[in-house]
């Protein structure tokens, strides 16, 4: 699973939080490349391969998206909606990583199709523990769908609705 191309996309508007997450990933021993985009708009550009992120070879689709919710402009929930409505990304594993522990946010995120919901810990050690958990579960244990296969299946299916989230790739 843990191939070098399995990059992690982090959508985070707070530079400090992005930096802390990067440090925590290093401390947790996560070797996967981590790409940080500073907002919802950029996240959609990256995932659709447009704008500053044109060129799939340079900017491959991630295996895992860590998504902040409270961002100015296009919010995390908007990004999640877009991901689920877009055939190429509909089965992406998206984990919400936010400082909000409000029940309403949690419920809405899951209704829209989040695969997980993590609340940011307040210290570096806490973030490191969380990064280790991400590594152990999402990057090692969990089997992610193969987006190329699911995209092909979608193209042949010609169904406008996003496919089920439980769909598994052959990988």
Partner 1 sequence: MKSPSATLLSVVCTVIVACVIAVMAFGVLGSMTAESRRVQDLSDIADKTHALHVLTASFMEASAPREVRQIQQILHSLDSMLLSVSPRAPSEAVLLEQLRRSFLRVGPLINQWAEPATGGIEGERRNIIAAQIWMKLQFISDDIQRLKNISQARIVMAQKKTAVIVVALIIVLAVTNGLIYWLSVRSIVRVQRTLRERDERVTAELQELVQRRTAKLQETIGELESFSYSIVHDMRAPLRSMQSFAQLLAEECGPLSPTATKYVERIMNGARRMDRLIQDVLSYSKVVRSEFPREKIDVGQLLRGILDSYQQFQAPHAEIRLEGGFPVVLANEAALTQCISNLLGNAVKFVAPGVTPQVRVWAETNELRLRLLFQDNGIGIEKVAHKKIFQIFQRLSKSYEGTGIGLAIVERAVRRMGGSVDLESEPGKGSTFWLELALASEERPAPVIDQSEPQQSHQPVEEEARR
Residues of the shown chain interacting with partner 1 in the complex, contacts defined by CB under 8 A: 14, 16-17, 20, 23, 70, 99-103, 119-125, 127
Nearest-angstrom CA–CA distance, 121 and 113:
23
For the CB of residue 65, give the shortest distance to partner 1 in the complex, in Å. 20
Closest approach of Cβ 38 to partner 1, in Å?
A: 15
Q: Which is nearer to partner 1, 102 or 161 (CB)?
A: 102
Long-range contacts of residues 78-82, Cβ cutoff 8 Å, at least 24 apart: 78/40, 79/11, 79/40, 79/43, 79/44, 80/109, 80/112, 80/113, 80/114, 81/112, 82/44, 82/47
Q: Taking the complex as a whole, how short is the minimal distance between the CB of residue 96 and partner 1, in angstroms? A: 13
Measured from the CB atom, the residue of 90 and 114 that comes closer to partner 1 is 114
Judged by CB, which is closer to partner 1: 19, or 143? 19
* Residue 36 Cα distances to 10, 25, 93, 128, 147, angstroms: 5, 13, 16, 17, 20
- Rounded distance, CA 15 to CA 116, Å? 23
Q: How far is the CB of 74 from partner 1 (least distance, A)?
A: 18
Measured from the CB atom, the residue of 103 and 158 that comes closer to partner 1 is: 103
């Amino acid at each position: 699973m843990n191939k070098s191309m399995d990059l992690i996309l982090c959508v985070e508007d707070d530079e400090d939080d992005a930096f802390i997450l990067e440090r925590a990933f290093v401390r947790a021993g996560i070797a996967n490349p981590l790409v940080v985009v500073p907002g919802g708009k950029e996240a959609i550009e990256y995932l659709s391969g447009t704008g500053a992120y044109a060129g799939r070879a340079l900017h491959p689709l991630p295996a895992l998206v860590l998504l902040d919710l409270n961002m100015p402009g296009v919010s995390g929930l908007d990004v999640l909606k877009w991901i689920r409505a877009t055939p190429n990304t509909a089965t992406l594993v998206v984990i919400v990583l936010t400082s909000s522990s409000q029940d309403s946010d949690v419920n809405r995120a899951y209704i829209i199709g989040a695969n997980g919901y993590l609340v940011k810990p307040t210290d570096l050690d806490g973030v490191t523990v969380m990064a280790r958990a991400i590594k152990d579960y999402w990057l090692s244990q969990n089997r992610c769908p193969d987006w190329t296969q699911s995209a092909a299946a979608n193209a042949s299916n010609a169904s406008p609705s996003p496919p089920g989230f439980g769909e598994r790739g052959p990988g």
